[in-house]
Amino acid sequence: MRLEDLNVHPHFRGFRHEALFPNGYGVSVIPEEDGEHYELAVLEHANGHKAHLTYNTVITQDVIRYCGVDAIDTLIDQVRALPPREVAVIGGTVTRQRQGGLPSGEKATRDV
């Protein structure tokens, strides 16, 4: 998938490209202030709902800044290829096994 294939939304920097993938992850891409590069953030979502930034993947522990279009296209493919997130809703709490950063078997939770 390429940057030009993503959905476009208004953003204070002009526009934001976004896509959510079936594996429970997604990407948000905004232009850098120099107008020539892009910043990519990895998103988590539950079946296309409540997408939010994640700083806990094997791809990055932060946003990735000052990327050219070719690097963004590669990163989009890497996020699409991540193993699916395990998500369960138990009593109003989303419980998930994260794919990077937490020890094997440790769960992360947040209220919804």
Dump pLDDT digits (tens) for 44-63: 999 888 899 999 999 999 99
In a domain, 101, yes or no: no
- Provide the domain count of the chain: 1
- pLDDT of 69 > 60? The answer is yes
In a domain, 111, yes or no: no
Mean pLDDT for the stretch of residues 10-39: 93
CB atoms within 10 A of CB 43: 20
In a domain, 104, yes or no: no
Range of the domain at 38: 3-84
And the tokens for 107?
A: 């769960």
Of 84, 100, 81, 3, which is closest to residue 45 (Cα–Cα)? 84
For the stretch 41-44, contacts whose Cβ atoms lie closer than 8 Å and that sit 24 or more positions apart, written own/partner, are 42/79, 43/18, 44/85, 44/96
CA–CA separation, 75 vs 49, rounded Å?
A: 22
Scored b (16 or more CB within 10 A) or e, 86-110 reads: eeeeeeeebebbbbeeeeeeeeeee
Task: At 3, give phi and psi (nearest 5°).
Answer: -50, -40
- pLDDT of 31 > 90? The answer is yes
In a domain, 70, yes or no: yes
Mean pLDDT for the stretch of residues 58-81: 96
Mean pLDDT for the stretch of residues 85-99: 56
Q: Is the pTM of this model over 0.85?
A: no
Mean pLDDT for the stretch of residues 82-95: 68
In a domain, 98, yes or no: no
Nearby residues of 73 by Cβ (< 8 Å), 6 or more positions away = 1, 2, 3
What's the pLDDT band for 34 if we cut at 50, 70, 90? Answer: very high
